Amino acid sequence: MSRSLKLLKSLAQRIDQRHRMSRLATFLLLALLVSPGLTALQKMETPPPFVKIPPEVAASHILKKVEPLYPAFAKAAGIEGMVGVHVDIYQDGRIHEIQGAVSGWACLGQAAMDAAGQYEFKPFEKDGQPVVADTIVNVVFRLPEPKTTVHLPPPPPMPDRFDSFRDADPAADLSPAVRNWLDSYLRASHLGHTPFFQQALDSSVAVEIPTKNAATRLYILSQQAGAPICGATGNCPIELVEQSSHGVRLLVDPAESGEGFYAHTHEGSLYPDVFIVTSMSAFESDVNGYSNVRGEWGLLYCGKLLPDKSDVHVCR
């Protein structure tokens, strides 16, 4: 190989080596520049830790407390007490999330959560750093005037089989007032703009439950099995509806669902207790019982049905 050719080859190798070194240096420089930014970004994206705070400590941090609105049913029944609400609290002391009511009367649960959601707290810290608090807020319900508590009877024995909607009458046979209410209710339930609305309306069925109050008519509304808004287990939305001179009103939590019902008339009441059963599995069902006390409806009984026994009781 000629001398000039060797010189050219040596020069090319040096240029290539310098080029590779330059690329490596550029990469390292970029890594050094970007690394602090990535670390800061990672710190920003890392959620703050949740720290368990004892309820009594959380109570000492309350800056703003909101009195709960007393549910009409609980007031009529003379029900008082404390409801524990599981909450998460932001670093600035505002409520981040309400996990649910974990203790106390079931009929007071929603009112307790509504009140607790408006509480504000002095921020919580751990090792000098703000944290998200995980705690229980106790909301107290006290009647403004002493009232004789209504005797709440134990639930009746549960039947072997609950009534179904298989042979129920079509909702088209309802009075115009209840029919119009059902139409508006389904539209407001986010079905009005879906292809399921007309199917849900057409598959709606109704059962009238006799009462001893001639001025009131009581209905259970649901859907036939297989309707598009029923669950895979056969549980369908169920509405307990009252029609009176004051109009039509919903008596049951709109989130209620089930596959059957049982109406039990007990002595001394104008209205029956209405139990709704929800199938959870082949071996277990949930039961909710609704009762009328002094003209107000509310959830009074809770429990489960098992193959060999039933455990239904006054909700606490």
Report the pLDDT value the prediction gives residue 191, as an integer from 0 to 100: 59
Q: In 10 A of CB 142, how many CB atoms?
A: 10
Q: Tell me whether residue 92 is exposed, middle or buried, using C-beta atoms within 10 angstroms of its C-beta: 0 to 12, 13 to 18, 19 or more.
A: exposed
For the chain, what are the domain ranges?
A: 50-141, 169-314
Contact 152, 314 (CB under 8 A): yes
Tell me which residue of 99, 113, 84 sits closest to 50, measured CA to CA: 99
User: What is the reported pLDDT for 192?
Assistant: 59
pLDDT of residue 34: 46
Measured CA to CA, the distance from residue 80 to residue 105 in angstroms comes to 8
Question: Could you read off the pLDDT of 266-308 as tens digits, one per residue?
Answer: 887 899 999 999 988 878 999 999 999 888 999 999 999 988 8
For the domain made up of 50-141, give the CATH fold: TolA/TonB C-terminal domain (3.30.2420)
Cα 264 to the center of its chain, rounded Å:
28
Q: What is the pLDDT of residue 283?
A: 85
Residue 21: band (very low, low, confident or very high) from pLDDT cuts 50, 70, 90: very low
Report pLDDT digits (tens) over 208-247: 999 999 999 999 999 887 777 787 777 888 999 999 999 9
CATH among 2.40.128, 2.115.10, 2.60.40, 2.60.120 for 169-314 = 2.40.128
Residues β-bridged to residue 298: 291
225's tokens: 């099995």
Q: In this model, does residue 16 exceed pLDDT 50?
A: no
The answer to whether 266 and 273 are in contact (CB under 8 A) is: yes
The whole-number pLDDT of residue 48 equals 65
DSSP character string of the chain: --HHHHHHHHHHHHHHHHHHHHHHHHHHHHHHHHHHHHHHHHHHHSPPPEEE--HHHHHHTEEE--PPPPPHHHHHTT--EEEEEEEEE-TTSBEEEEEEEEES-GGGHHHHHHHHTT-EEPPPEETTEE-EEEEEEEEEE--SS--PPPP-PPPPPPPSS-B-STTPEEGGGS-HHHHHHHHHHHIIIIITTSTHHHHHHHTEEEEEE--S-TT-EEEEEEE-TT-TTS-TTS-EE-EEEEEETTEEEE-S-TT-EESEEEEE--TT-SS-EEEEEEE-SSS-EEEEEEEEETTEEEEEEEEEEETTEEEEEE--
- Report yes or no: 85 and 97 within 8 Å, Cβ to Cβ: no
β partners of residue 293? 296
Q: What is the mean pLDDT of residues 170-182?
A: 90
Q: What is the 3-state secondary structure (H, E, C) of 144-171?
A: CCCCCCCCCCCCCCCCCCCECCCCCEEH
Report which of 180, 177, 183, 239 is spatially closest to residue 207, judged by C-alpha positions.
239
Is residue 5's pLDDT more than 60?
no
